[in-house]
Amino acid sequence: MNARKFKAGDYKSDINPIWCPGCGDFHVLMSITKALAELGRRPEDIAVVSGIGCSSRIPAYTNCYGFHGVHGRSLALAAGLKVSRPDLTVMVMSGDGDGFSIGGNHFLHACRRNVDMTYVVMDNRVYGMTKGQPSPTTESDWDSALSPGGTGLRAFHPLVIALASGANFVAREFSGNIKATTKTLVEAVNHPGFSFVEILSPCVTFRPDEKEWKNTVHTAQVEATDDPARAARRIMTDDGMNTGILYRGRRKPYKAHVSDEVGDIAPLEAAFEI
């Protein structure tokens, strides 16, 4: 029984998104506000943190506390916030460039650190805000002005990296599947530790081919596992369009936190006396 006090609209701000018509991120924003309503926490008890890029615009479109920081560092900022304010629900919004390229190192260590927060990466396999350059998840032969003929580089596999680095919850969703995405986000927030949700979110402007995703994604045919080896095998052998919760770990979340009680520093001062 869940006495629903909040509606999705309670988590939306009155700012109009700057996204292109048809952008998958509109759907992601809908899923987030729906998930927050279902979670039922007051908007002022939620913090949404982001870096730079189209997806990172989300904080200002919510009615929660938000932080739109610098490119690639949202996970670090969010970790500091959550450790200092464990009472808040902390969500981080990122994209494939912000999260896996400039912010790649923080991704590894956020998974390791396992601070109790939810990391949502809207993956459209392109830098959209700078108008169409290949990102770490872009196919190696994707042609662009910056890398004519393709980068020739192997695409990054975020879910496997997350799993190997210690993320405690790993899922993939498609932006167009609002119901499933909402459900997964609720579970991700409720799961202790660092939860990683990759949302395939088409960039209709620079990757019109991604409009096809709605036809190629498919729901995972298996239940989530708590065995990282099984999860890894599953993720590495699927076609990249497999959606659902793929791994639920049992690691204990990061412990250190700031408490509201302030201890006496007199003993610390006395330690310098000789």
| Total residue count of the chain as it appears in this document | 274
Query: Could you say which of 76, 163, 185, 199 contacts another protein (CB under 8 A)?
Result: 76
Of 60-68, 134-142, 157-165, 193-201: span binding another protein (CB under 8 A): 60-68
Does the footprint of another protein cover residue 23 (CB under 8 A)?
no
Query: Could you say which of 38, 67, 178, 230 contacts another protein (CB under 8 A)?
Result: 67
Query: Could you say which of 6, 30, 73, 251 contacts another protein (CB under 8 A)?
Result: 73
Contacting another protein within 168-197 (CB under 8 A): none
Query: Could you say which of 70, 160, 161, 204 contacts another protein (CB under 8 A)?
Result: 70
**Distances in whole angstroms, Cα of residue 194 to Cα of each of 97, 177, 204, 224, 254:** 20, 23, 30, 16, 9
Query: Could you say which of 3, 87, 148, 229 contacts another protein (CB under 8 A)?
Result: 87
CB of 102 to another protein, least distance (A): 9
Neighbours of 15 (CB within 10 A): 11
Does the footprint of another protein cover residue 265 (CB under 8 A)?
yes
Task: Check if the beta carbon of residue 58 is closer than 8 Å to that of residue 65.
Answer: no
Query: Could you say which of 31, 55, 63, 151 contacts another protein (CB under 8 A)?
Result: 63
Of 25-33, 167-175, 202-210, 251-259: span binding another protein (CB under 8 A): 251-259
Does the footprint of another protein cover residue 41 (CB under 8 A)?
no
d(CA 89, CA 8): 16
Cα angle 43-46-49, degrees, rounded to a multiple of 5? 125
CB of 17 to another protein, least distance (A): 11
SS (H, E, C) 27-61: HHHHHHHHHHHHHCCCHHHEEEEECCCCHHHHHHH
> What is the size of the binding site for another protein (CB under 8 A)?
54
- Report the amino acid identity of residue 64: C
Task: Return the axis-axis angle of helices 178-190 and 24-39, rounded to nearest 10°.
Answer: 50
CB of 48 to another protein, least distance (A): 8
- List the structure tokens of 228: 């990282």
**Distances in whole angstroms, Cα of residue 186 to Cα of each of 20, 39, 254:** 27, 6, 20
Query: Could you say which of 60, 160, 161, 204 contacts another protein (CB under 8 A)?
Result: 60
Residue 49 main-chain phi, psi, to 5 deg: -115, 140
CB of 122 to another protein, least distance (A): 17
d(CA 28, CA 168): 22
Which residue ranges make up the site for another protein (CB under 8 A)? 15, 42-45, 47-49, 59-60, 63-70, 72-74, 76-85, 87-88, 105-106, 108-109, 113, 256-265, 267-269, 272-274
